[in-house]
Amino acid sequence: MAQFCSACGGQMADGATSCPGCGKTVSAGGGAAAQMAPATSSGNNDNIIALLCYSPVAIVGIILGLAVEPYKSSKLVRFHAFQSLFTAIGLFVVFFGLGIVGGILSSIMPLLALVMVPVWFVCWIGTLVLAIYMMMKAYKGEMTKLPFVGDFAAKQAGV
């Protein structure tokens, strides 16, 4: 029967004395306490909620990470919730600024506004790639700090 770590929820080999994922030592009995981990610990649920913070339904992950009890006490979830929130605010400002620049260019000469189309496209693709990358990092349980917002999110999350 498979064993699971009581700290991180990762699967362990039968008879293992420490978790290969987080390194935590399992009690001498090993089996019973370790096998009950998914039911008694949030384990991988923290990783899933952290992943949701960067997904298309990010508001769900952010609300769960900052307001709902087992998750708001997890530093991993709080960090990713704050970082996702600050990143979304920053991207809103960037895209709003691009819209203003596009409006100014179109008022000067309508064809000049077409210069902004590839810029918007590159920014949208970059946002999509960033979201997918951060979802993978959050699911692995890593606290990857993004430039500008990462340190601020870490301070807010207490990491």
| Shared domain check, 13 and 51 | no
| Shared domain check, 93 and 18 | no
pTM: 0.68
Q: How many domains is the chain partitioned into structurally?
A: 2
| Shared domain check, 27 and 51 | no
| Shared domain check, 146 and 98 | yes
**Domain containing residue 145:** 44-157
| Shared domain check, 16 and 55 | no
What whole-number distance in Å separates Cα of residue 27 and Cα of residue 41?
16
User: Among candidates 99, 87, 75, which has minimal Cα distance to 155?
Assistant: 75
Give pLDDT, residue 121. 95
| Shared domain check, 97 and 35 | no
| Shared domain check, 63 and 30 | no
Give pLDDT, residue 89. 94
| Shared domain check, 145 and 98 | yes
What whole-number distance in Å separates Cα of residue 156 and Cα of residue 12?
33
Q: Which residues in 116-148 are b (16+ Cβ under 10 Å) and which e? A: beeeeeeeeeeeeeebeebbebbeebebeebee
| Shared domain check, 61 and 21 | no
| Shared domain check, 16 and 75 | no
Q: Cα angle vertex 49, ends 57, 23, to 5°?
A: 155
Q: What is the pLDDT along the chain (159 residues), one digit of tens a residue?
A: 456 666 666 666 777 777 777 777 765 444 433 333 333 345 568 888 888 889 888 888 888 888 888 888 888 888 999 999 999 999 999 999 999 999 999 999 888 888 889 999 999 999 999 999 999 999 998 888 999 999 999 998 887
| Shared domain check, 70 and 36 | no
